[in-house]
Amino acid sequence: MVDTPSPNEPTLEEQIAAYQREFKDLDPQVEQVVSALGRLHRRMNVAYGRQTATLGISNAEWEVLKGLVLSGAPYRMGPGELAKSLCLTPAAMTHRIDRMVAEGLVTRDRDETNRVRVIIELTDAGREKWLEAMRLATVFEEELLQDLSSEERGALGEMLTRLLRRVEES
């Protein structure tokens, strides 16, 4: 497998060789899989960041939009449950919501049934921004997987899901 590293980053092969030199018990197949997944994740985040930037939002804001969409119509959540779903602190969530309210992507209102509770709701502009980001992401993801057959995509998806379950269960 040939890897094109970013500047000052060793190739996967160089990294694995260095690890093997320093840690004799290393399984190079395991390290190749784990390191490739890590690099792929980082590089995909950079690519998504470029796409969301063209839409005038950050990856962080994209995550909030996604969280609200995943909650289902009417796309409303309390800031605490939204923060929990995104694995954020309440302070980090407040900062994101402040920016997004100012940008017109979400609203922040008191819950009519419980005036102490705040509700974050996706606006039409926020939903349109999410749809635009999804359109861009779909093109990117199709290009990413273009060299894999339908069967390979299915097998890869199943294998990665098994790995994800193992991590989530531990």
> Residue-wise pLDDT tens for the chain (170 aa)?
445 556 788 999 999 999 999 999 999 999 999 999 999 999 999 999 999 999 999 999 999 999 999 999 999 999 999 999 999 999 999 999 999 999 999 999 998 888 788 999 999 999 999 999 999 999 999 999 999 999 999 999 999 999 999 999 99
> Sheet holding 76-77: strands in order across?
76-77, 114-122, 106-111
| Confidence at residue 128, expressed as pLDDT on a 0 to 100 scale | 96
Q: Alpha-carbon distance 170 to 165, whole Å?
A: 9
| Confidence at residue 115, expressed as pLDDT on a 0 to 100 scale | 77
| Confidence at residue 1, expressed as pLDDT on a 0 to 100 scale | 42
| Confidence at residue 6, expressed as pLDDT on a 0 to 100 scale | 64
| Confidence at residue 152, expressed as pLDDT on a 0 to 100 scale | 98
User: How many helical (H) and strand (E) elements, i.e. helices and strands, does the chain have?
Assistant: 7, 3
Q: Cβ–Cβ contacts within 10 Å for residue 121, how many?
A: 15
| Confidence at residue 2, expressed as pLDDT on a 0 to 100 scale | 44
Intra-chain end-to-end CA distance of the chain, in Å: 30
| Confidence at residue 111, expressed as pLDDT on a 0 to 100 scale | 81
Q: Alpha-carbon distance 123 to 131, whole Å?
A: 12
Q: Residues 124-127: contacts with CB within 8 Å, 24+ apart?
A: 126/65, 126/68, 126/100, 127/65, 127/69, 127/75
Distances (CA, A) of 86 to 1, 10, 43, 61, 101: 34, 32, 20, 11, 18
Q: How many residues does the chain have?
A: 170
